[in-house]
Amino acid sequence: MKCPKCGVEMRRVGLEQLSGAEVFATLECPACHYRTQQKQGRPGLV
């Protein structure tokens, strides 16, 4: 995923599990340090 602010490819810096079934990846831009969360699949279905 590209950063919406500067267009640099974002890096995954962490995973969080919310509400038991949904997993979100925290993505950070190495250039401007913009952070966002992206919904991943359920755990175990990777």
- pLDDT, tens digit, 9 for 90 and up, residues 10-43: 999 988 877 677 888 999 999 999 999 998 876 5
What does the pLDDT read at residue 16?
83
pLDDT at 7 over 70: yes
- The DSSP output letter for 30 is T
Token representation of residue 31:
């250039």
Residue 40 lies in a domain: no
Q: Is residue 41 part of a domain?
A: no
How many folded domains does the chain comprise?
A: 1
Residue at 46 is within a domain: no
pLDDT at 20: 72
36 burial level (CB within 10 Å; 0-12, 13-18, 19+): middle
More confident: 1 or 21: 1
Question: Which of the two residues, 24 and 9, has the higher pLDDT score?
Answer: 9
Answer whether residue 23 is part of any domain: yes
Answer yes or no: is 44 within a domain.
no
CB-CB contact of 3 with 10 (8 Å): yes
6 is in which domain, residue-wise?
1-35
